[in-house]
């Protein structure tokens, strides 16, 4: 009997020790590059890759909530549509791309986080001719976490401002293409930050409101939600789409409207939407206080609704 007790004690001790070592185990981040999972430190691509040399490529940012990939199909479809628009052959199909994403998520033991999928034109020479990129396009998948704005701003709201840098005209680069060229947006962000604002409102060439540097913009006026239409130079945001769906479900009026800065200044509420940002309230635009300086009720309701949606709407892995 004594011997048996001793044995059980020994086993219990062993299990405890094992549990401690599992807890301590650090997962080294692994990056997917062209079919291989490579430790972050060694995850490298060629300096001749045209994604680096010319911004020649496309990408997606996708969120994962408690093992559910939110709006997966929409993101995959947009990735392949962006690639199609720049005549870039993605060397694997959509199904394989999803498998690769899931493989990367699992390898990194990520339950909550953010996946960045990048497809570049691949390795060429120093000229911009894409025909010189002889091998396949390069596929990179990074599973990580992301925080676009500090937590405090989700409670207090953002101060944003219109900036001089405009959106590309659709005849140049269509805003629907989620390409590796974000230079206007980066300049816009710098302009906003230099002036003490957290985010920039970009106008299109005609001076109408388009979007922010990595988010779509919504305003509320007289209980009605409005966001600029795609032809105003907007990326057709997937979170934007989810917000529109949520308003339909809760019978909040919502429409796409061509908006001016006047409309923004006189809004009852304003918020931004995006995969990385989710929904973030705006309380100041170009020095004008919006929504009495705090997040408005419709903004808060949609934030709650979106959060609930992310718990049920997604592909489990
Ligand atoms: N506009 C721009 C320019 C963006 O980069 C993003 C983020 N991808 C968005 C809007 C929001 O789009 P989504 O909701 O699909 O992330």
Beta strands 224-227 and 254-256: pairing type? parallel
Testing ligand 1's pocket by substitution, the residue of 189, 216, 306 carrying the most ligand atoms inside 8 A of its CB is 216
DSSP class of 228: -
Find out whether 118 and 180 touch, Cβ atoms under 8 Å.
yes
Spacing of C-alpha 155 from chain mean position: 20
Active site residue 178: yes
* 177 three-state secondary structure: coil
Task: For residue range 282-293, list pLDDT tens digits in order.
Answer: 999 999 999 999
* Average pLDDT of every residue of the chain: 94
How much distance in Å is there from the Cα of 214 to the middle of ligand 1?
A: 5
**278 CB-near residues (< 8 Å, 6+ apart):** 63, 239, 303, 306, 307
Q: Which of 167, 178, 189, 284 is catalytic?
A: 178
Testing ligand 1's pocket by substitution, the residue of 75, 187, 274, 275 carrying the most ligand atoms inside 8 A of its CB is 274
Give the global pTM. 0.91
pLDDT score of 17: 64
Ligand 1 atom nearest residue 175's Cα: 3
What CATH fold (topology level) applies to the domain 30-144? D-amino Acid Aminotransferase; Chain A, domain 1 (3.30.470)
Find out whether 293 and 282 touch, Cβ atoms under 8 Å.
no
Percent of the chain with pLDDT over 90: 89
Boundaries of every domain in the chain: 30-144, 151-316
Nearest CA to ligand 1 atom 13: 237
C-alpha distance from residue 121 to each of 48, 127, 130, 131, 142 (Å): 10, 13, 7, 9, 18
pLDDT score of 15: 64
Task: For residue range 26-45, list pLDDT tens digits in order.
Answer: 789 999 999 999 999 999 99
Could you say which residues of the chain have pLDDT below 50? none
pLDDT score of 83: 98
What CATH fold (topology level) applies to the domain 151-316? D-amino Acid Aminotransferase; Chain A, domain 2 (3.20.10)
What are the pocket residues of ligand 1 if the criterion is a CB atom closer than 6 Å to any ligand atom?
61, 185, 211, 214-216, 235, 237-240, 273-275
C-alpha distance from residue 164 to each of 67, 204, 205, 216, 313 (Å): 41, 10, 11, 18, 38
pLDDT score of 192: 98
Find out whether 91 and 20 touch, Cβ atoms under 8 Å.
no
């Amino acid at each position: 009997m004594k011997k048996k007790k001793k044995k059980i004690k020994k086993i219990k001790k062993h299990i405890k020790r094992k549990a401690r070592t599992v807890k301590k185990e650090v997962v080294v981040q692994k990056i997917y590059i062209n079919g291989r999972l490579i430790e972050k430190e060694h995850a490298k691509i060629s300096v001749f890759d045209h994604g680096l040399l010319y911004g020649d490529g496309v990408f997606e940012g996708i969120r994962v909530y408690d093992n559910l990939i939110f709006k997966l199909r929409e993101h995959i479809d947009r990735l392949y549509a962006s690639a199609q628009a720049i005549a870039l052959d993605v060397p694997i199909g959509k199904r394989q791309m999803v498998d690769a994403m899931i493989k990367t998520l699992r390898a990194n033991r990520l339950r909550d986080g953010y996946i960045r999928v990048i497809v570049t034109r691949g390795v060429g020479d120093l000229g911009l001719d894409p025909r010189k990129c002889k091998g396949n396009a390069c596929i990179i998948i990074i599973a990580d976490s992301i925080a676009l704005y500090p937590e405090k701003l989700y409670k207090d709201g953002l101060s944003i401002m219109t900036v001089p840098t405009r959106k590309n005209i659709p005849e140049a680069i269509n805003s629907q293409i989620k390409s590796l060229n974000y230079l206007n947006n980066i300049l816009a962000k710098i302009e906003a930050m230099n002036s003490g604002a957290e985010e920039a409102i970009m106008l299109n060439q005609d001076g109408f409101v388009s979007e922010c540097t990595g988010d779509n913009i919504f305003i509320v006026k007289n209980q009605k939600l409005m966001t600029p239409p795609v032809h105003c130079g907007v990326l057709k945001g997937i979170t934007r789409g989810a917000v529109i769906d949520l308003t339909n479900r809760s019978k909040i009026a919502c429409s796409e409207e061509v908006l001016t800065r006047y409309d923004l200044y006189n809004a009852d509420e304003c918020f931004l939407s995006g995969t990385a940002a989710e929904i973030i309230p705006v309380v100041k635009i170009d020095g004008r206080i919006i929504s009495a300086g705090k997040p408005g009720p419709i903004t808060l309701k949609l934030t709650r609704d979106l959060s609930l949606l992310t718990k049920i709407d997604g592909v489990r892995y």
